Every structure is written in C-alpha cells, then in structure tokens.
Amino acid sequence: MQNLLYALAGTAALALALPQAAEAEIILELEERDGDEIYPVQMLIASGKLAALDEEGDVEMIFDRATATIYTLDHDARSFTRLNRENISELVGQVDSAMAEMRRQLEALPPEQREMAERMMGGMMGNAGAATERPARSMRPTGTRGEAAGIRCDWHDVFVGDEQVGTACVAAPDAVPGGEELIAMMTAMSEIYDELLDRIADSVPMAMPANPIMPMTEAGGLPIRSTEMTEDDTEMQITLLAVREEAVDPSLFEIPAGYREASFDD
C-alpha cells in the first residue's frame, strides 16, 4: 500500500503544476525513476477526474472528485477496487478479522514459540487498540533553486518526524496558475488516506506511515520534482517533463465494461 501512496503523492502533486485552465483536458508527461529502473508515466485530467497511466499506457488509478472515490484497476483480473469514506469501514473490518485470526494462531502455539513470534512482531499482538501516533510530514527550504518543464522551483528537504525521507522542488504559486481544481483533488484524496490510516492504527498498534499526500501548500507552492526513499531503501524520483493541452478520450476516466468490483482481500 505504501508504494501506491508514494506513487499517487508524487505524480498527482506534479499534476498541480499546470499553466492551463482548470476545465481544460490536460496530459502530463512524467518520468519515474525507481533505483535503476526508469518508467514513463502519464497523468490525465478532465472534468473533475484524474487518471494515472503506467508505462504500457494502461490506466492504473482513477480519482473522481465529485464522489471522492479512488479506483484502482487490475487489468489481468479484469477487476477494480474502490476506496472512499463509505467503504473504509469494510477495509478496517478485514484488518480486524486478520488480526483476530493471527491472535488465534498465536494462542495455539506452545509458550516458547508464541513468545518468540510476539517478540518478532514487536509485541503488537498483545496490545490491540494501543494505536501509535503517525509521524507528521514537513518540508524545509534548502535555499537552492531548480527547474522542471521550464518552471523554476525551490528545493526543500522532506521530513517524516525528525527523519529526512526525500526532497521536493517547489514552484511559486504564480508560476503555476490553473491548479485550483487539482489542489481540491489532492485535498480530498489526502483526507481519505488520513481517515484510512487513522482507523487502521486503531486496529493495528504499530506505527502507520505518514500520509504522503500532504497539503501541497505547506511549502508555499507546488512540488514539480521530488525524490523519496522507498521501503526497500531505493530512491524514487518523479519529474515533470512536459504538459500539453489535448483532447482526452473520456473512456479513460471510466471503469472498463465487464470489470468486476473486487474486495480488498481478493
């Protein structure tokens, strides 16, 4: 899940750097570097919806601002999942059930094995409900400047708590007009993830990741380049390469015909 959050945060944050009107159909060309791998990514914005396309040109994610719903597509399984405030309880219920099953399995182990398993999991099984506060993200200016897609920006160090986890080059608001609709999208997505992570933290007493879709205005502008360390200690870089206004196929913002809705534990 965390890699998905990073991807959404980086690519959607870059989508804010648009010199066009909010109602225009926009195509953003991005480059994602994950360690030694390089992936082209496209973001499409039209009529209050955002679609993220992978390097094969397949839609991976759709966000519908009107319903505040995030859809994630699995083309191999011809299925999709949806995440919004209405079904967060369903996901949290599945986490609760999984935790209960783990506790039952632990209780069936001999004492020495149970103690070893609990120690390996940091004692979390014996502290259900003791939620751990999530660390806050912050951005601190470095005093250096950069550029992406012809837009000047100021570099910031990104911290989670007291630990630096990445960097972001932030463009001034007057350099990126037309981002109001996308700021509203990011705010809605961030609120969904905040509620999800807070609810899961009540069930799983361990440190939840900081929400990477933090308010984009915290640094006084909009990130158009970013770096972030992933869970496997490789550096993910996302850079805005180009923005163009062009007609977008409206079907790219819809769930394909014949796709079934999958549950989160499929």
What's residue 16's pLDDT? 41
Residue 88 located in a structural domain: yes
Q: Which domain holds residue 72?
A: 2-135+178-215+240-261
Number of domains the chain contains: 1
Angle, CA of 223, 229 and 235, to the nearest 5°: 90
101 is a domain residue? yes
Q: Specify if 10 maps to a domain.
A: yes
In a domain, 70, yes or no: yes
The answer to the question of residue 162 being in a domain is: no
- Contact status, residue 181 vs residue 258, Cβ threshold 8 Å: no
Within a domain: 168:
no
Pairing of strands 235-245, 260-261: unpaired
Q: Identify whether 233 is part of a domain.
A: no
What pLDDT was estimated at residue 10? 47
Does the residue 166 lie in any domain? no
Write down the pLDDT at residue 245. 81
Write out the chain's pLDDT in tens, 266 residues: 444 444 444 444 444 444 333 345 888 888 988 888 899 989 888 888 989 998 888 999 999 988 889 999 999 999 999 988 888 877 777 777 777 777 788 777 888 777 777 666 554 444 444 445 666 778 899 999 999 988 899 999 998 888 898 999 988 766 754 456 666 677 777 788 777 777 777 666 555 555 555 545 566 677 889 898 776 778 889 898 887 888 889 999 999 999 999 976 66
Q: Residue 264: its pLDDT value, please?
A: 67
Strands 260-261 and 79-83: parallel
Rounded Cα distance, 261 and 249, in Å? 23
Between CA 258 and CA 55 the distance in angstroms is: 23
Global model pTM greater than 0.85? no
